[in-house]
Structure 1
């Protein structure tokens, strides 16, 4: 949280109004972050501006700057939201107990489906974090999300392939994640229906080919 964002929810003189002011501040932050997700999805991170985000949120740039100093801070807040939402998708996709004994093809299908659904429902995520050419300004913002995903995939790899050493487990998990990251924008951009379904099949095929040699 920046000082500006903290000051938006600071305690006023009359203590009873603190929760109400905090609630309004949190609603405004959520409004800005939701607007940013739409602008990032439409324009890309590099071309998005705080003015465009403010317009989409229906507020003045000055109101936006009460909570965020720049679009990097907005992206960081969006990353925090995605950590929570993608975490729920990961819990569904990467339930170790369920996937422990599933056949490889079934395991991959169970992993991929919720992640595809999440990316389709959150186009701003693709624009920011499901891209192979991560802007340097976003690396720190997305680090907690990637760390959580990496640990969960490492756990799955170590269970599925107990013969692998620690370094190989780390490398296998990292490459698997990068495969998904590289192909997810293609899946999201594909026309809904047979073309998108075919791209999902291709992702599963690539993962299977890679993991079969693990």
Structure 2
């Protein structure tokens, strides 16, 4: 199963979900279509299983980067600490973006991705509330949504390039996000006593 899922990730990453076929996945895995069908009845089942694994790893990545320690960093350092692991994850797993961008992905995968998207927006909003506790909830939501949109747009450019050009686009992505966030959040993140603010847990309301 692992061999087939790795092959599917390669095929989805190369040609996209829509153009991929079970025959192409079987060829990539070095097995017969009959062997593939012993594990998965169709392409949709492969995408759901692969997507579940991707999204599970992405949730783990979110837990590792949205931490109190990172929230205590100055803005530029916080962006490095949060964005670098997320960019690296997507560069190592280009099939995830290929699946998400497809208009005909299985419904379960689309629903799970939408739920993860909402969870990520919540975490970004919580991070923003650490920097600006008094920011109204509506403004915090807009800022989080815009920051996430900038990240997604920049990520597509990063994934479309290799080597030195990829590094250059990573730098451009970080610079763009810094220029957007710095006027709103400021360059640092400390409370009046000089200590780091606490990162709210998921589900906490805005702190005013």
Shorter chain as denominator, the TM-score bin is 0.7 to 0.9
Instruction: Find the counterpart in structure 2 of residue 93 from structure 1.
Output: 65
Q: Deviations over 1:50-83 (max 9, x none)?
A: 2111222233333333443432332222221112
Match of 1:187 among 153, 158, 161: 158
Match of 2:168 among 195, 198, 208: 198
Q: Deviations over 1:126-168 (max 9, x none)?
A: 3223xxx552535325224323322322221222221222222
Cα deviation for residue 41 of structure 1 reads: 0.8
Instruction: Find the counterpart in structure 1 of residue 26 from structure 2.
Output: 54
Instruction: Find the counterpart in structure 1 of residue 105 from structure 2.
Output: 137
Instruction: Find the counterpart in structure 2 of residue 168 from structure 1.
Output: 139
Q: How many angstroms apart in 2 are the aligned matches of 1:90 and 1:40? A: 24
Q: TM (normalized to structure 2)?
A: 0.76
Is residue 93–residue 113 contact of structure 1 (8 Å, CA) maintained in 2?
Answer: no
Query: For residues 155 and 190 of structure 1, do their structure 2 counterparts lie closer, same or farther at Cα, with a shift above 3 Å needed?
Result: same
The yes-or-no answer on 1:117 pairing with 2:57 is no
Is residue 44–residue 127 contact of structure 1 (8 Å, CA) maintained in 2?
Answer: yes
**RMSD after superposition:** 2.1
Match of 1:73 among 27, 31, 45: 45
> Relative CO higher for 1 or 2, CA cutoff 8 Å, sep ≥ 6?
2
How many residue pairs match? The answer is 181
